[in-house]
Amino acid sequence: MTEANRYEPVPEQRPPWQAGLPPAGSTPEWWFEPAPPAAPQPEHGAASRGLVTALLATSIVGAVLGGGGTYLALRGTGALDQRVAAASTGGAVNVLVQSESSQIIAAGVKVGPSVVTIVARQAIGQSVGSGIIYDAAGWILTNKHVVASATGMDVRLKDGRDFKGTIYGVDTLTDLAIVKIDGASGLSPAPIGTSTGLQVGQLAIVIGTPLGVDYPNSITSGIISALGRDITVTNNSGLSGTSLHGLIQTDAAINPGNSGGPLVDDSGRVIGVTTTMADSAQGIGFAIPIDIAKPIMQQALAGTKLSRPFIGISYLQIDAALALQNNLPLNHGAWVHKEDASGNSVEAVVADGPAALAGIKTGDIITAIEGQQINATDLLEDLLVQFAPGRTVSIDLFRGGQYLTVRLTLGTRPTATS
């Protein structure tokens, strides 16, 4: 290139930085340090404009550095990766910042000591399941299919201590059982929550002993995938099945050995009892809502026989198709109705049973129990199972164009009743 073709741009003249600005790479502490007072300037045209320009430049640079520094500081601490929940009350906003991983860790610390490994000896071989200590006297909640056919049972605590377990009772309606151990000191009962008001998508944590005794107190996490699921489970012998209704579906990993362990929410409270996983798919497991288990847990503590409530009716769960087919006035609820082999309507209320004594009649539509509405998700039997025999409950029903409320004292469910 010849000298004549050479081009060199003239450097742009920039004013010097204003004294007092933080040097490049300064720490955030500079954001809060006041700038030193500026030297007095003449109060005439060009000098005044120069001072204003310098002050504006200082403000802009400070804001850019401050904003960038804030972003880097938050990112460095992981705060930008955390879940932020804000709730507004009375015009004030309360912000709670807590990472999902810290919730899982806290739940494991809180519930882990309450989870036991159950080794049930069978006529041939043995099986492994989990259980939940719910009372310091040695009361344990687990699955019926874990212990129902056991000839003997060992219960291992998280600290490694082993105790002989005995079956206090099994539930005739669900896949639940109560086991008792004696002589164990320092037991940590699990915090028991509620399964009412659960929402699809909320955090779900499973703790148990998958794949045998070598993997105790394993923790997996996921979400509640669905509510109100129906399945059939078999016991360890595989010879019989139990139909379960109103289950919690979760994608938190459940494997053989997790059965009987807790499903835990983000506050570290038990909301369900894990019962089974889908054999033909991954990420599909089920748990019995804890509210269904509470009556038998209380019965065991009271020293009474495990039993379930009975109202003494036959009914059909109403949906839109059933309502249209039978010209029913409502498209939800439990229709007190029964048919014989020929399809003719017959008496659907058991004579002298709890429903008959309360004044319920064939053809009534039961709409709620204790204020809990009966619908496609919350079936009559799923709501009823939350109450113990002997309790008096309010029953809302629809009859002849009007709503009525009756009081019904629950009976004890016969073993042979489906």
Angle (nearest 5°) at CA 407 between 406 and 413: 115
With contact defined as beta carbons under 8 Å apart, do 410 and 354 qualify?
yes
Distance CA(398)–CA(374), nearest Å, equals 12
| Alpha carbon 265 to chain centroid, angstroms | 4
- Identity of the amino acid at 82: Q
Q: 175 an active-site residue?
A: yes
* Catalytically annotated residue among 175, 265, 266, 364: 175
- According to DSSP, the residues that pair with 206 across neighbouring strands are 220, 263
- Identity of the amino acid at 79: A
With contact defined as beta carbons under 8 Å apart, do 342 and 332 qualify?
no
With contact defined as beta carbons under 8 Å apart, do 195 and 265 qualify?
no
Q: Is the dihedral of CA 405, 409, 414, 415 positive or negative?
A: positive
DSSP state of 227: E
* Catalytically annotated residue among 221, 259, 364, 396: 259
CA dihedral 9, 13, 14, 19 (to 10 degrees): 140
Beta-sheet pairing, 177-181 with 139-142: antiparallel
* Catalytically annotated residue among 114, 145, 154, 195: 145
HSE, side-chain direction, 13 A CA sphere, residue 222: 20
Catalytic center residues: 145, 175, 259
